[in-house]
Amino acid sequence: DGGITQSPKYLFRKEGQNVTLSCEQNLNHDAMYWYRQDPGQGLRLIYYSQIVNDFQKGDIAEGYSVSREKKESFPLTVTSAQKNPTAFYLCASSLGRGLALETQYFGPGTRLLVL
C-alpha cells in the first residue's frame, strides 16, 4: 500500500530549539517537496528535491533546512532562525524525471506549535 507518511502529527517547539519533521514515501517517486500552510492562505513552497543529494530553495526557505540522502526520505528541519514557525507542514512527492504533466501527492501533514 503505497503512500506518503509524515511524523509526528503534532510537534511542539520551544524557543531557540531546532525541530525535524519526517517525510517518507514508498511510491518510488524521484521528486519531493515541503509546503507550509497558514490559516486562510494557500500552500507555499519551502524546499524541493528532484533527485537524491540535490535540493532547491522554494519561495520561503529562510529558517528551514533539508537533506535528501535517500530517495524515500526528505526530512525538514525548522531552525531557531524561523521566527514564525507555527503552521501546518505538508510533504509531497511526484514522479519527477522531467515529466511535464505530473501530479504531486501529499502526506497527511504535521502541525507545528510553539510553546
Partner 1 sequence: DQQVKQNSPSLSVQEGRISILNCDYTNSMFDYFLWYKKYPAEGPTFLISISSIKDKNEDGRFTVFLNKSAKHLSLHIVPSQPGDSAVYFCASKDTGFQKLVFGTGTRLLVSP
Query: 45 is written with which cell numbers?
Result: 513552497
Pick one of 76, 90, 93, 112: the residue that binds partner 1 (CB under 8 A): 90
In Å, how far from its chain's centre is CA 92? 7
Q: Taking CB under 8 A as the rule, does residue 2 contact partner 1? A: no
Q: Taking CB under 8 A as the rule, does residue 27 contact partner 1? A: no
Contacting partner 1 within 29-48 (CB under 8 A): 31, 40-45, 48
| Distance in angstroms (rounded) separating the CA atoms of residues 33 and 23 | 10
Q: Which of 4/76 has CB closer to partner 1?
A: 4
DSSP 78: E
* Cβ–Cβ < 8 Å for 59, 44: yes
Q: Taking CB under 8 A as the rule, does residue 84 contact partner 1? A: no
Query: 3 is written with which cell numbers?
Result: 503512500
Pick one of 13, 22, 27, 50: the residue that binds partner 1 (CB under 8 A): 50
Tell me whether strands 64-66 and 54-57 are parallel, antiparallel or unpaired: unpaired
Q: Taking CB under 8 A as the rule, does residue 109 contact partner 1? A: yes
In Å, how far from its chain's centre is CA 73? 10
**Measured from the CB of residue 80, what is the shortest distance to partner 1 in angstroms?**
26
Judged by the rule CB under 8 A, the positions of this chain that interact with partner 1 are 4, 6, 31, 40-45, 48, 50, 58, 88, 90, 92, 96, 100-101, 103-109, 111
